[in-house]
């Protein structure tokens, strides 16, 4: 059976991603309202009681819905020790399973966490099933060359394309310290930086990209997509022929992507 991925919502207001393979269903992060996630799972015909949770880090747009979901459905929650400490104050009945280093198993899925540079301890995930690999990398200020190489054998990658640098620079609502944080090596990946990564992924044979975690104020889907498309074309890769690029929205489900 294939790996299936659906982004339930991705952006600065909340993040949650559904992934399944074999008889195993997981959510990577849960930063959305419980009822919204329940409606999405109903559309996908997935029983919430069958879902395990994986958490990347402790920022509220990724973790605010973990406790309501886990306590209602008795979900197992996989996370780093740092995240476990934060969850301890939020949850009473959740079955939290901290991981240290190395791969681990969630049902039929093999999960490989990897560290990403952010302003709190944060991980991304590669998930394997039946010889296929899907990788998730958001909330990172930079993409080290070693990580680009490590993800290059994925069939599908969801990668952050958070902001346009010109829009961020001209945003009068963002104070200077916040702009510095976002632009830093432990902040968020810009459209241009993301597009550079996409070229390297295309060179290694990746054929499906989903752009995620777009800023509500400093980006918009068409701009993120066009930046990626233009950069790929400059290096001889054509969107839709050599590599497909989709953009995840903050307020609605994405298509259901299938890797088989």
pLDDT at residue 140 is higher than 90: yes
The Cα diameter of the chain in Å comes to: 53
Q: What is the pLDDT of residue 93?
A: 63
Mean pLDDT, residues 183-201: 97
Distance CA 74, CA 95 (A): 7
Torsional sign, CA 202, 208, 213, 216: positive
- Residue 60 is part of which domain span? 3-259
Mean pLDDT, residues 234-240: 94
Domain count, the chain: 1
pLDDT in tens, 79-137: 988 888 887 777 766 688 888 778 999 999 999 999 999 999 999 999 999 999 999 99
Q: What is the mean pLDDT of the chain?
A: 94
Torsional sign, CA 134, 157, 247, 186: positive
pLDDT in tens, 1-36: 589 999 999 998 999 999 999 999 999 999 999 999
User: Using the 8-state DSSP alphabet, how is residue 159 labeled?
Assistant: E
198 close to 231: Cβ distance less than 8 angstroms: yes
Q: What is the pLDDT of residue 163?
A: 98
Distance CA 195, CA 147 (A): 15
**Whose structure tokens read 């490989």?**
112
Q: What is the pLDDT of residue 1?
A: 59
Torsional sign, CA 162, 29, 229, 220: negative
Distance CA 92, CA 136 (A): 28
Question: Confidence class of residue 168 from pLDDT cuts 50, 70 and 90?
Answer: very high
Q: What is the pLDDT of residue 44?
A: 97
pLDDT in tens, 33-76: 999 999 999 999 999 999 999 999 999 999 999 999 999 999 99
Phi/psi at 165 (5° precision):
-65, -35
Q: What is the CATH number of the domain that holds 187?
A: 3.60.15.10
Q: What is the pLDDT of residue 118?
A: 96
Cβ neighbours of residue 56 under 8 Å, at least 6 residues apart?
28, 29, 62, 122, 123, 124, 125, 136, 138, 139
Mean pLDDT, residues 197-206: 97
141 close to 120: Cβ distance less than 8 angstroms: no
Residue 215: count of CB within 10 angstroms of its CB: 25
Q: If DSSP codes are grouped into helix, strand and coil, which group holds residue 147?
A: helix
Q: What is the pLDDT of residue 164?
A: 98
> pTM value?
0.95
Q: What is the pLDDT of residue 81?
A: 86
Q: If DSSP codes are grouped into helix, strand and coil, which group holds residue 103?
A: coil
Distance CA 126, CA 156 (A): 10
Q: What is the pLDDT of residue 98?
A: 87
């Amino acid at each position: 059976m294939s790996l299936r991925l659906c982004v339930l919502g991705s952006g600065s207001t909340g993040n949650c991603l559904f992934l399944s393979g074999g008889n195993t269903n997981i959510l990577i992060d849960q930063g959305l309202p419980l009822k919204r996630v329940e409606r999405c799972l109903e559309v996908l015909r997935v029983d919430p009681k069958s879902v395990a949770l994986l958490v990347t880090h402790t920022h509220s747009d990724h973790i605010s819905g973990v406790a309501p979901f886990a306590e209602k459905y008795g979900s197992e929650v996989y996370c780093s020790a740092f995240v476990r400490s934060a969850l301890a104050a939020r949850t009473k009945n959740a079955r939290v399973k901290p991981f240290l280093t190395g791969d681990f198993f969630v049902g039929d899925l093999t999960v490989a966490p990897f560290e990403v540079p952010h302003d709190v301890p944060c991980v991304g995930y590669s998930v394997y099933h039946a010889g296929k690999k899907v990788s998730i990398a958001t909330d990172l200020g930079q993409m080290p060359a070693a990580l680009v190489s490590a993800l290059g054998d994925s069939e599908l990658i969801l990668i952050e394309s958070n902001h346009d640098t010109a829009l961020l620079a001209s945003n009068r609502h963002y104070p200077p310290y916040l702009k510095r944080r976002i632009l830093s090596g432990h902040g968020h990946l810009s459209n241009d930086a993301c597009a550079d990564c996409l070229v390297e992924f295309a060179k290694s044979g990746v054929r499906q990209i989903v752009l995620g975690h777009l800023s509500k104020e400093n980006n918009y889907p068409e701009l993120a997509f066009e930046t990626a498309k233009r950069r790929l074309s400059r290096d001889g890769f054509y969107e839709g022929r050599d590599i497909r690029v989709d953009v995840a929205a903050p307020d609605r489900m994405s298509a259901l992507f299938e890797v088989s």
